[in-house]
Amino acid sequence: MTPDWVFFSILTAFTLATSDALTKKALTDTNEYLVAFFRLLFALPLLLCLFFFVPVPLIDPEFYRAFAVSLPLEILAMVLYIKALQVSPLSLTLPFLSLTPVFLILISYLILDEKVSLRGGAGIFLVAAGSYVLNLHEIRKSVFEPFKAVVRDKGSVMMIGVAVIYSITSSLGKMAIEHSSPMFFGVTYFAAMTIVLAPIALFMGRGGLRRFAAEKQYKALILPGLFYSIMIVSHMTALSLTKVAYMISLKRTSIIMGVIYGYFLFKERNIGERLAGAVIMFVGFVMIVTAS
């Protein structure tokens, strides 16, 4: 019988990839700030319903500190994430989320002088190799052209920025969960994100707000929001059932699912090399997060 945490981790990956694909579809002619906000807003009803069934744990100042520092970083990451989905192919941008543990290792090395294990080092190599394979068709210009192509693509650069931020917020989130509970943190955190993002989104998207409302463009974000809310709940449930490294490893299969969505929904090109690159980066990711 499959352990419950495996089911919930795979469900997290599927609902995240599906929400991202549907969000990209809604981004065709819509302001990215409004899209980011309304996806969260439509995720909120399910989360608020669950809140009445979530026991309120004993929380301390460490929870509030981690919560407060992580929140603005998470909002920045979300806006960059949505912008990356808007300007670049799913199959090219999503694999760069595999870089998160690489940055975690680098940060811990610089700050704490923690050494990278042989397994972790091999994982970093595979992540780098996978990012090279994503643009393998550029190799005809020069050996270094696949790496240069990453820098030239705005969406890829933005998603690398998201990976950097996630390397910080993942640690802060873990701290907040340790000083509360997974479900309590998940519900309160994303509710707070919705509230804080509201004035930012309405201000930054003010130019297209009238059209957004008149053409009822928000309707296209109901399904992405619903899948996103299921992702949050299944993510927090899986976290409560197993080790973080195992859960996150399965969750990142969303990268491969996203590449497949890119091919079938958006007819993205060079899908063979991008799928190969995504798989290589995913294997590297798993090696890093399970190295300890």
Q: Shortest CA distance to 82 belongs to which of 159, 192, 167, 175?
A: 159
From 77-86, 133-142, 257-266, the region with the lowest mean pLDDT: 133-142
* pLDDT attached to residue 292: 61
Angle at which helix 182-204 crosses helix 61-87, to 10 degrees, equals 50
* pLDDT attached to residue 1: 60
Number of domains in the chain: 1
CA distance 118 to 47: 41
DSSP secondary structure, 29-84, as one string: GS-HHHHHHHHHHHHHHHHHHHHTTS------HHHHHHHHHHHHHHHHHHHHHHHH
From 8-12, 152-156, 174-178, the region with the lowest mean pLDDT: 174-178
* pLDDT attached to residue 77: 97
Q: What phi, psi does 253 have (nearest 5°)?
A: -65, -10
* pTM for this model (two decimals): 0.93
Residue with the bigger pLDDT between 51 and 163: it is: 163
Percent with pLDDT over 90 in the chain: 77
* pLDDT attached to residue 282: 96
CA distance 177 to 238: 13
Average per-residue pLDDT for the chain: 92
* pLDDT attached to residue 113: 67
Hey, what are 169's tokens?
Answer: 């917020």
* Mean pLDDT computed over 34-41: 97
pLDDT tens figures, 183-231: 999 999 999 999 999 999 999 999 999 999 999 999 999 999 999 999 9
Determine the structural domain holding residue 235 and report its residue range. Answer: 4-289
pLDDT tens figures, 104-154: 887 767 655 667 788 888 999 999 999 999 999 998 888 889 999 999 999
pLDDT tens figures, 44-60: 999 999 888 999 999 99
